[in-house]
Amino acid sequence: MNIRSFTLKSFFYLFSISILFSGCESEDIKPALSLNISNTELSEVTGSITITATLNSAALQNITIPLNFSGTAIKDTDYTASTNSIIINRGQTNGVVTITGITDGIVEGNETIDFVINTSTEVLILSGQNISINLLDADFDADSDGVTDANDACPNVPGDVANNGCPFVGFIINEVLYDPADGIAGDANGDGTRDPNQDEFIEFFNSSATSIDLSGYSISDASQVRHTFPSGTIVPSKGVIVVFGGGNPTGTFGGAIVQTASTGSINMTNSGDLVTVKTNTGATILTFDINGLSGNPNEAFTRFPDIYGNFERYSNIPEANGAIHTPGTKVNGISF
């Protein structure tokens, strides 16, 4: 072996590696930052929202992120901000700014708060650099129903003051389970046993301004009467009643009135059936047609949004959080 030749080759190899690495030297990689907002709508009168800045790794030093507010709403007149700069302390990954509305007593309509991160040399912006917030005017009533938008559950639809600004739509079916899931997941009545007939149920909601007396009313499938409401069955305004096929319903069911079918079964056929509700004089007031829905869904169908929406399978509704039925409560498990 030529020792001199080997030494020279080694020297040039090490020199080349040194050049390669020295050529790649640069400033440390900036931490990446993203923004998240707790809500995009803010009322002048209630609550606040938070905007959180999050780094993909802990800060190596205190980081200050300047903020810029614009839009039609005026800072410190229509709203306040807890800080003009988000600060993420060394060793932390998050910083927060809180936005709170101010009631000004002036009818000015809904306004916007535009929130932008000013240029920062300390972070790399990944997402959410521009955020827009809708500031709901506490003194504005877009649908002219007497309920201000900030307090109106249906701000774009004329409704009733007694119903939080939403329209009353009468006595309705809100949820139906005609095909309980296999196993304990299908135990809708909560008695500890899954039964294909006993765990069927129909959830009714009284979306009217007064109570309704269901005494003597009936529920039928396509072949016969399956349940007759007993005397004294009175559902208050905005009240709920759930009728199960049978069993021993166990639970609070959101405070709903709970009954079991007087004939021992609702008997809704998966392949297609027509549920009919009639008054004690025989007048039809409600129908629910299973035809057109999935034959064996193993879950309930519910209006979404509750009361006002079309019927949807629970698995198609993210707000259900994995639930496949919620007798007596809204789709998210909260009482009406």
Q: Mean pLDDT in runs of 10 for the chain (336 residues)?
A: 45 41 51 84 83 88 88 91 91 92 78 81 70 83 85 89 94 97 97 97 97 98 97 98 98 98 95 94 95 86 95 94 97 95
pLDDT of the residue at 184: 97
| Residues facing 32 on adjacent strands | 124
pLDDT of the residue at 4: 46
| Measured distance CA(313)–CA(157) in Å, rounded | 25
| Measured distance CA(170)–CA(329) in Å, rounded | 18
pLDDT of the residue at 152: 86
- Judged by DSSP in three states, 170 sits in strand
| Measured distance CA(153)–CA(103) in Å, rounded | 19
pLDDT of the residue at 40: 87
Taken in order of first residue, the domains within the chain and their CATH numbers are 32-136 (2.60.40.2030), 170-320 (2.60.40.1260)
pLDDT of the residue at 258: 98
pLDDT of the residue at 202: 98
3-state helix, strand, coil in the chain (%, to 5): 10, 35, 55
Cβ–Cβ < 8 Å for 133, 50: no
